[in-house]
Structure formats: C-alpha cells, structure tokens
Structure 1
Amino acid sequence: MAAAPSSLSSGIPGARVTPRSQHNVSRLQISDSALQVLNGLHRAGFQAYLVGGSVRDLLLGREPKDFDVATDAHPEQVRKLFRRNARLIGRRFILVHVQFGNEIIEVATFRGSANGKEDESSEHSETGRILADNVYGSLEEDARRRDFTANALYYNIADRSILDFSTGMEDLQAGRLRVIGDPEQRYREDPVRMLRAVRFAAKLGFTLDAAAQAPIAACRKLLQEVPSARLFEETLKLFLTGNAQTSFEHLRQMGLFAALFPQVDALLDDARYGSARILLQGALQGTDARLLDGKSVTPAFLFAALLWPALQQERQLLEQQGKPETVALQQAASGVLQECAGRISVPRRFALPMREIWDLQARFMRRGGRRPHALLAHPRFRAAFDFLNLRSQSGEIPATLVEWWEQFQTADHDGRRALIERARLEETGQEPALGPLPATSRRRPRRRRRSNHAKQGETSQPGGSDDGHDDGRAGND
C-alpha cells in the first residue's frame, strides 16, 4: 500500500484527505458498472463515494469482490436516476441495488445518528440492538456509523482523493483492525459485528486490537438475539471465503464458536471425540484449498462436517437406548438439525443433501450383493464418499474401507464381483486385509458395440464432481 500522508480537509469537517498523487487507487481498478453509478450521481449533482471493503482492498493491492457506493441522494432519487436497473431492498436500512448484467452495485444513502434523540425511524431492543434504522445524515455521520476504521475510507469520484474520518489509513498500514467508537456499544447495536471482526482479521491477516477484543466475552451471548437465517449467512462468509481454518481458530479463541455451535464446541476438547476436531479441520482445509484453486464449494458438505461430532454423540446415545443403527442415525440427524436451527438455520436446500451425506455413511459398510452397485449410482455418492475419506483421515474408520471403495469405482465387472466376494470373506474373518486387485480385474477399455442392444447396456459409473464440495445436485449457490 502506498504511503498515506494526509491533511485536514477544509471542505469536509473532520476528514483527512489523501490526494490522488499520494495513494495507489486507480479508476482502472474500479469496475465499469461502479464508475457508471459514481459518475451518474456526480453529474446529477449528488455526492458519490466508493466506500468500504472495495477501497480497503484496493489500497492493500487486493482485488475487490464487489463495489459499494455511498451518496447523499435518497433511495427514491437513486432509483429515479437509474430506473431501468434499480430496485429498493432492505428493512432496517433501505438500499438501492443497481444491476448491470451479473454485477450489482449497492448504493446506500449516508446514515445519520439518532443518539440522544427520539426518532421514530430508529428502534433499539432492550440490550441495545438496532431493530430499525432509516435515519439519513451527513458524510461525516455516515463514517462514524461504520464498524471498523479500515472499512470507513471513502474514494471521492469528484477529485479521486481518499477521505478518512478516523485512523483508517494508519490502521491499514499497521495491519490493525479497530472498532469505530465504543466497541461494546457497537457490538450491542449489532452482535454480528463480532463475527465480522473475526472474518476481517482472518481475511486480511490483521490483528484485532485489545479494545475490540475485550468486550467479546460479555457480548457473545447477544448472538442469540440475531435471526438464525442471518447467522447462517454470516457463517458462510466465515467458512466459505478462503480463510476457514483461520476463522475457526479465531472463533474458538474468542468463545464465538461456542455461541454458534455449542454442541460441537463442547466435544472438540473431549478425549472421547479425538477424531472430531481432525475431521472438522480436514473439511476446513479442503474448503480453503478448493477456493484457492478456483473451484466451487457447497455449504451442505461443510455443515455436514461441522455438525458431525454432535450427530455422532446423539446417535451413540440413541443406540445405547436400544435403537437400531439406521433409526438412531435418522433420529440423531433430526435432533441435531433442530438444535442447530435455534441458532443457525440451515436452509432446506442444504439440509436435505446434508442428511443424505450422513445417511449414506452406513451404506458404505454394507458391501454385499447389489448394494455397492446401488450406492455407486446414488446422485450423492461422490459427496458421501469424500466425507467417508475425511472420516478415514481422522482415524474414525479404517483406511481399508476407503481403499475398497476406490477400487470398486474403477474396477470392471469381474473386478467388482471379486471385491464383493473379498469383502464377504473379510467380514467372516477368512480373508486378509485388502490388497491390490488382480490384473484381470482392472477396468479395460470397452469396444464400441454395433448392435442396437448397446443403447440398452449398463452405463459406466455415474458422473460426479471431483470432490464432494462441488456436487451440483447438492444445491450450490
């Protein structure tokens, strides 16, 4: 990041201005859509600033994920200006989404403060959480309302300068994450800010300053007041943006993982569930690796891993009560998801594939007759097999079971028959551990049949992704 010498602005109260010659943000790095919105507002006589994470990332030499705009124009004025592309959204604070193809530019009117005033547009809970907030204000007030100094930097389209109303430029250079205002009050206004602090610290490699950390122990219980659907979205941002492992460690250190997943957190340090943490870390590591390679991920696989320790505990308790294995697993899955819904509501489109991944684990143990063929044809086989592999790596199940299924997937018809027979002998204690397949049982290229019966023959193994994270039928977003 370029050096950030700044001076007090004579035109904007409280702002320190870094002129274009003294920072590294160029219009060439800003998307054409964002420039259209910024220039459109400016030409119409409104103030227009690029703000938040995009300015922060550009100053750090990173590529922004999206671009947000702040303006003194009210939502209806913005919609009128971009009427073909714009729509109003939001409840707590009305925003405008201006869409250009697949890109959405979010435009927000400067937010004001109703502190110390009776204002029907601002409503708080008994603990201080903001319930409704449609108070408009000035640019300076908008900056004071933002969460962290690093996110309160404004790129002015009028003269291409950077405006800083706090210590944002200094904190960026120091690699420090600092809350604007009193941290405890800001966490009480919106408890999700604690999760955002963890996410930004993990993403940027920044240190959360002591003043920001201190109130978390007292405020983390306030996450119970946050709607469970919103917590689900925030959890995805924590674990599905390429910094899952670091986010997990930060969450545990600050007691926030226990606030989100109390059942799981209680088991991670229990010696009886030693494989649970290994399995979860393997899933987080795999998620980060896929995102680094530019591959997609699905929340279903990750949440299946996150909740697996709690599922195992509940299943074992039910089996001890005399419930059959399959019944115990199904009841445990229902109970764990119901418990989770009280804090983080997993949408049905992800909960269903999660349950399939869990249900199929028992079927991997049954390798007789036609059952392996039926399991291989299951649309969720690939994701379930990858989950089985995670369990093997954690030491929960023997590696020989995974090896058997790896061989079964690539073997030809005779090879699969031999594997099924070998599994039967192993289960009766008549066969040693799994070894290499005979050369005659490995899959060989097939000649193309000329008869019409070829169209009715068996297909090869079902198509699937190269990883359970990327199963299109699992509900990727």
Structure 2
Amino acid sequence: MCRKVLARNEASGPQAVPVTEPIRNTRRILSRDQHSISRKQISDNALKVLYRLNKAGYEAYLVGGGVRDLLLGRTPKDFDVATNATPEQIKKLFSNCRLIGRRFRLAHVVFGRDVIEVATFRGHHHQVNTSKHVASQSDEGMLLRDNVYGTIEEDAERRDFTVNALYYSIKDFSLHDFHGGLADLERGVLELIGDPETRYREDPVRMLRAIRFAGKLGLKLSDRTAAPIAELAPLLQDIPAARLFDESLKLFQAGDGLPTYQLLRQYGLFAPLFPQVAELLTPAGNSPFERFLESALANTDQRVAQDLPVTPAFLYSALLWGVVEQRHRQLSNESGLPPQDTLQIAINDAIESQIRTLAIPRRFTTDIREIWLLQERLPKKSGKRAERLYTHPKFRAAFDFLELRSRVDGRLKELVSWWQAYQDQHGAPPRHAHHDSQDGEAQSADDASRPARRKPRRRRRRPAGGGQ
C-alpha cells in the first residue's frame, strides 16, 4: 500500500514520504511534489467548485473519501468539498446550488446528475455525551448538536476516521493530514479519531461504518478502534429501522459484500442487523445455508465489479432464505398444511420479523415473496406450467436464485439444467417478463429506500362552451 501514497515528481521520479508511527493531532502539510494526487484525477465539476470558492476568497479543500481513494489509486465514487464559507455564502456563488439538511446545513452544487457536496467546516459540540446510553437523538438516530461551524482543525477532529481527515487544497495543491491518516493508510490500519467508546455512543452506526471501510479498503481495525464494539453492538437496536436499511445497502451492495459480511460476524455486528438469521449461523461457518449465503454475496460482488445491475430484493432473498427454509420445514412437519400454504406462512413470519430491525420497503418485499414462492413452483414444470412460469415477471430472478441454491444442494442441479435447456430452446422470455438476474432494478445504496415518485395527475379539460 505504501507505493500508492508515494509522491510522484515527473522530474525526479517517485519520492517516498518517510512515515513511522502515526502523528496524532498535528497538522502535517505535504507540498505538491510530496504526494501523488493530480488535478487530472479530480472531476471537472469538483474543480469548478473548488476554484470558484478560492477565487471568492474562501478556503476550499477536497476532503474525505475522495482524497483517500485517490491516494490508494482508486476512482472515487464522488468528490466532497469543505470550506470556511457558510451555506448561504456558497449559495450566493452558485446559481445551481440548493441547501439541504436540518441537523447540519449542506450545500449541493448540481451539474445535471453530478452533485458536488459542499460542507462548511464543523466546530466542536459545546457538550459531549459521556452517558452509558445514546441520548438526545433525532429521528434518524443521531445526536442533535451538529449545526456548529468552526475551523479546519476542528472540522478534522470531528471526522470519524483518520484516513478521512485528509484535505487537498486547491490554492497550492498541498495535502493536509491532521491525524496521521497517511501513516494509517500505509500501515493498512483503520483508526478512529478520538475516544472510540465516546464516538460509538454518539452514533452507533459508526461501528457499521468502521466495518464497511475495513471491508472496502482492505484495512484492519486498530485494537483501540475494535475494542468497544462487542460491548456496544446492542446500541444498534436504538437506531431507526429505516436508517439501518440504508446502511445495510451500503454494507452489502457496494461490491465488497462478502468480506463485509465476514467482518460483521467477526465483530458481533451481524446479529443486531439480522437476529433471526444469526440464530442459524454456526461457529465453523460452513453449514449449507452459510455456504449459499457466501455464494450469493460473492455473486453480487462480481456483478458490481462488472457494472451489472443489482437489487435489494435479490440480496434480501438470499439473506433470509435460511430462515424461510427452516420455518417451512417446521410447519410442513407439524401442521399438515399444503406446501404452498406453509411456505406462505414462513415467508410472512420471516419478513414481518425482519422489518422490525431493517425497514425493507414494500416494493422490495413484494419481489422477495415472488422469488421465494417461485422456488416451490419451479419443480412443477409439466404440461402448460413451464410456459406459464417462463412468462412470469420474476422468472429470471427466481431461476438465478435456484441456480445459486444448486451450488450447495446437488439435488437441484438436474432441475437447473432442465430450465436452462428450456430457455435455450424457447429463446428469451416475452419482453415484459425478462429481467436480469438481479431483477433489472439497479439502485444505489443512497436512493434504494426512497419511495417511488408518483406521476402528477392531469386534469381533464372541460369542453368549450360549458359542456359537462
């Protein structure tokens, strides 16, 4: 990892920045020839925002994940800007700016689909929560003392991890490191800024963010960052289910779902998110369901890497399948009801239990139900049944789910081969019924939980002349 943080001077070649132990709470400034970030790597729209702020006399820095990813040789998902300009001052500079947020005011500078988020330097809270319980929370499960502006030093201290407290100045192209983030990147360590227990109590979701960054960046949690997690994991129960759903999408649909799942289990954070699933997990982690789940997560990661669509419905179908299977078997043995009925009851039980923890929107649970119910129908392919199933809107997703199941249950391989041959023989299903393996409903982690927009209703015009 060290080589990715090396400076590159075109005249003299790579120059290593000597790094030993992390330097905490000390501002370290690297000139342009001492780091590897180039303006060519930054989006044109982000540069427009940075330059205009600087020209107007304000401090302007590229900050956080964008800087971190550039240093690691990655392509940033987005670019965020930090400045000493207030949101109102930012809005005066940009006609394409909108202000959002109540807890902390942010400016979004909009360039078509590209949005550059601009935040004013955050200051310190006047009071720090040191109680044993998370208090003074908003509806989103966050503390309510954030709308305080400050200096860049205070802003860096307010950030969660050292590798996110890195600032690239557009004024002189220097890199500013406030908490040893460069050293931590080179050591491959994820380090929390401040006292970990206090920071986790301020916002328990920081524990999930720690796991997400570790899984995404291949970093190891430092001992002090990891130490309080096992004890504080139950605090996630205080976070609203809607927010946990959003966080779960970031955990599992960003392309690193499998290593993230393994880290969640390692640090005791999987059970608070999926309590009924956690009851099925084994110490060795090699039960048929666990192997199926890992295969499904690896499949999703592969699709993200290939820039193919993924959908929460397919993901949650896999995550909760073991629960449905077990309950289905139990009801079949005890109730004497037809398999379709016991499966329906098992599905209802699994979803109703899960949405108490993660508020999965109904538009996804509807698709989840269809994928599961079709698992019972796919073996019944005689007569006209195969033709009807083939034209079902969720056939493709259900078939791919069946194929994943067959990877750990050899008894299903013959059924998968039959349906594959059927598809080869009959060609693509009707257009309305054909979906990608993840159902063709690709959504980002940020927008997947938003309700679908309704089209405005058109008023009927009355005929001229007073007609009724």
**Counterpart of 1:93?**
104
Distance verdict in 2 for CA 1:303–1:192, change over 3 Å: same
Partner of 1:239 in structure 2? 252
Q: Tell me the amino acid that sits aligned with residue 344 of structure 1.
A: L
1:321 to 321, 324, 335: 335
1:116 to 104, 109, 127: 127
Aligned to 1:154: 167
State the shift of 1:217 in Å: 0.6
Kindly state the Cα deviation for residue 185 of structure 1 after the two structures are TM-superposed: 0.7
Judge conservation of contact 1:5–1:18 (CA < 8 Å) in 2.
no
Separation in 2, partners of 1:383, 1:177 = 37
For residues 381 and 470 of structure 1, what CA distance do their matches in structure 2 show?
A: 9
Residue 327 of structure 1 and its aligned partner are, at CA, apart by 2.1
| Matched AA of 2:218 | G
The higher relative CO (CA closer than 8 Å, separation ≥ 6) is in 2
Q: 1:376 aligns with which of 383, 390, 399?
A: 390
Deviation at 1:474, TM superposition (A): 9.8
Give the structure with the larger helix fraction.
1
Whether 2:262 is the aligned partner of 1:294: answer no
User: Secondary structure of 1:70's partner?
Assistant: strand
1:461 corresponds to 2:417: no
Match of 1:25 in 2: 37
Distance across 1 between alignment mates of 2:196 and 2:285? 38
After superposition, the C-alpha distances for 1:385-444 in whole angstroms (9 at most, x for unaligned) are 0001111112174311111211222236xxxxxxxxxxxxxxxxxxxxxxxxxxxxxx8x
In 2: Cα distance, 1:103 partner to 1:129 partner: 27
1:46 to 55, 58, 78: 58
Aligned to 2:46: 34
Q: Verify the 8 A CA contact 1:350 1:474 in the aligned structure 2.
A: no
Q: Aligned-pair distance for 1:313?
A: 2.1
The residue matched to 1:368 in structure 2 has which SS?
coil
Asked if residue 181 in structure 1 is aligned to residue 150 in structure 2, the reply is no
Instruction: Name the CA distance, whole Å, in 2 between partners of 1:30 and 1:473.
Output: 26
TM-score normalized by the length of structure 1? 0.83
Contiguous gaps of at least 5 residues in structure 2: 7-15, 20-24, 130-134, 449-468
- Verify the 8 A CA contact 1:382 1:471 in the aligned structure 2: no
Hey, what's the Cα distance between the residues in 2 that align with 1:5 and 1:133?
36
Letter in 1 for 2:429: Q
Q: Distance in 2 between matches of 1:175 and 1:163?
A: 19
What is the SS of the residue equivalent to 1:468? Answer: coil
Counterpart secondary structure, 2:386: helix
Partner of 1:280: helix, strand, or coil? helix
Superposition RMSD on alpha carbons, in Å?
2.5
One of 69, 92, 99 as aligned partner of 2:81: 69
Check whether the contact 2:312–2:364 (CA below 8 A) recurs between aligned residues: yes
Out of 180, 204, 211, the position equivalent to 1:191 is 204
CA distance in 2, matches of 1:29, 1:249: 32
- Which residue in 1 is equivalent to 2:368? 354
Larger Rg belongs to: 1
Q: Deviations over 1:284-317 (max 9, x none)?
A: 1111111222212111111100011111222233
Partner of 1:452: none
Alpha-carbon offset, residue 378 of structure 1: 0.6
From 275, 299, 318, the counterpart of 1:262: 275
Q: Tell me, what secondary structure is at the counterpart of 1:105?
A: strand
How far apart in 2 are the matches of 1:397 and 1:236?
32
C-alpha contact 2:292 2:405 (8 A) present in aligned 1: yes
> Once the 2 structures are TM-superposed, how far is the Cα of residue 49 of structure 1 from its aligned partner?
0.7
Task: Report the TM-score, using the length of structure 2 for normalisation.
Answer: 0.84
C-alpha distance 117-215 of structure 1, shift in aligned 2 (>3 A): closer
1:173 CA displacement = 1.1
Which letter maps to 1:44? A
Equivalent residue for 1:455? none
Q: SS at 2:148's partner residue?
A: coil
Contact (CA 8 Å) 2:395, 2:434: kept in 1 or not? no
Q: Structure 1: state its 5+ residue gaps.
A: 7-12, 413-442, 444-459
Of residues 32, 55, 68, the one that matches 2:67 is: 55
Report the CA distance shift for 1:148/1:270 in structure 2 as closer, same or farther (over 3 A): closer
